[in-house]
Structure 1
Amino acid sequence: MSHTAHIRSRRKPRRSATTSLAVRAGVAGGVISMAAAGASTSASAGETTQILQLPILTTELAAQVAQSAEATQQAAANYQLQAERDAAAAKAAKQATADLAVAKKKAETKKKAETARKAAADQAASRSAERTALAASTAPSAPTSSSTVTSSAAAVIAFARAQIGDAYVLGAAGPNSWDCSSLLQAAFKQAGISLPRVSQDQSTVGTPVSLNNLQPGDILYWGSAGSGAYHVALYVGDGKFVGAENPSTGIVEKPLSWSPPTGAVRVL
């Protein structure tokens, strides 16, 4: 056989481009189909898993809801407590304001009362001073007796006359009301003499004197000397006395004939 004789080739003939594209398309289609099938299978598996886990998620959700409800209830309780505290604080503040207003009003009232009391005391002191000065200026220059009025007796008489017009109150001791013995006690204090407080004791101090030999400044008494004495007054001369007589007359100056005394004592 000639070496140039035709020998059939053992290689497979080349595929055309169209054939190659078709094959490739087929392979790609198969792969896509498999992927789709896998996705479908995965989706089915996922749905199964979701269905199986649903009860678990529902229980957890219920626990969360319960926890949220408890938190809400606690928050509501806290809000309520805070509201009650705020209301109590507002009420306390309102009460404090009211109490402060009442306290201020009481303080103002007390201050006004104290001012009025001081004004009344000043007025009484001024009136007493005026009466003292008036009594001193109008005092007789000499008593009816031959004795002259000593400076001590003049001071005692001036004080007693300055109280003329004041009230008689049993147990009172000035400055605007007296009883018979407190008036004499205060009058003799002007001369530096301390008398006992009651009529019975005042009727026995000093030296007993006759009613016919009285001097200004002598103490007159009614009843018997000592425990029997029930009233005292001051002899001021000219046959007159000054005394705290009774609630209807108060402190007056009267003649001895108006109510004749029982006896007298002298301490000046």
Structure 2
Amino acid sequence: MSHTAHIRSHRKPRRNASKIAMRAGVAGGVLGTLAVAGASGSASAAEPVTQTLELPTLTADMAVQVAQSAEVTQQAAANYQLQAERDAAAAKAAKEAKADLADAKKKAEARKKAAEAARKAAAERASRAAERTTLSASASASTPAAGSGASASVSTGSSAATGSAAAVISFVKAQVGKAYVSGATGPSAYDCSGLVLTAFKQVGISLPRVSQDQSTAGTQVSLSNLQPGDILYWGGAGSAYHVGVYVGDGMFVGAQNPSTGVVERPLSYDPPSGAVRVL
């Protein structure tokens, strides 16, 4: 036996095994409870974090979709506007092309009419020249010798004109020297029928415009019975190609051609085919 065994303070008390087990169980239970609670708390704390992370992702996707939709809509609107502008430009171009075509047709028609008028005038002048050559040849064959007087078929009386006849004669003589222009009726130029038309208009008499109709406008008179103011014509009555005005004393005034213009000439210069009287 130890020499200190009898001292109490130096003895180690014995632990009861059951108590130790109980204490271990309590401790284990407390630790388990804490672990469960911690895990539960961690789970509870983690759940909001998971939701918070998902919400920004969903919101960003929606924003991208909205932006893409807006971009598509804007592009479609721009395409519609561009198409509308193209359609408007095409319609304007078509309208201008139609107007240009109509204008070109009018100009072409005007040129065609002018060319036709020039052709007819040239043909009329050529026919008139040929007819005059024929008439001149006939007149030369039937004209008496020099000094024996004028042809018996043409009167060269010098009876004085009065009234309307005097006014017509005064007018045509005042036009001598002016230009010959096909289709002109004065005041600076005339063609043959234009001069006769305008002259008789001075005394209130309205005549047809062309020589063919003027050659039948009044009463047919014989060339041997001419009076001042009678209308002379060359060619057939109703188909005359030239007209003039008899002014007395064997003279006439007429717009002859572009070379001579309006002239006063003796009947022997270009003997007429016939005459009509409207005064």
Query: TM (normalized to structure 1)?
Result: 0.50
Identify the structure with bigger relative contact order (alpha carbons < 8 Å, sequence gap 6+).
Answer: 2
